[in-house]
Amino acid sequence: GAGVSQSPSNKVTEKGKDVELRCDPISGHTALYWYRQSLGQGLEFLIYFQGNSAPDKSGLPSDRFSAERTGGSVSTLTIQRTQQEDSAVYLCASRKGGQGDQPQHFGDGTRLSIL
């Protein structure tokens, strides 16, 4: 596709349930990032994938959060046993190439609400 695609755009679930968020990056982009953005706040880094290298998971807030990227393309972010503090917009971004100076291209995000 032309841009980064995320699904679902909105997700409402009950506390304690597991959720899966999907990101489809721009074709050919080797780097993929997940961020979390609470209302009126900046972007909090969660995890970074680059090609076939081991992901940088240093931003994951707890072991309830995990992510994978299959075939170097689509990525899923999984949150287990959701808590109300997990409510936020989850943004995915992809970047061309191995150089960090290339801009990141963001999807529209998944707005997650935990009841």
Rounded Cα distance, 98 and 115, in Å: 40
With respect to another protein, which residue has the nearer C-beta, 31 or 60? 31
Tokens describing residue 27: 């074709």
Contact call for residue 42 and another protein (CB under 8 A): yes
Contact call for residue 98 and another protein (CB under 8 A): yes
Q: Is 44:59 a contact under the CB 8 Å cutoff?
A: yes
With respect to another protein, which residue has the nearer C-beta, 47 or 79? 47
Tokens describing residue 7: 């699904």
Residue 42 C-beta: closest distance to another protein, Å? 4
Spatial CA neighbour of 31 closest among 52, 51, 59, 15: 51
Residues that bind another protein (CB under 8 A): 4, 31, 33, 35, 40-45, 48, 50, 56, 91, 93, 98-101, 103-109
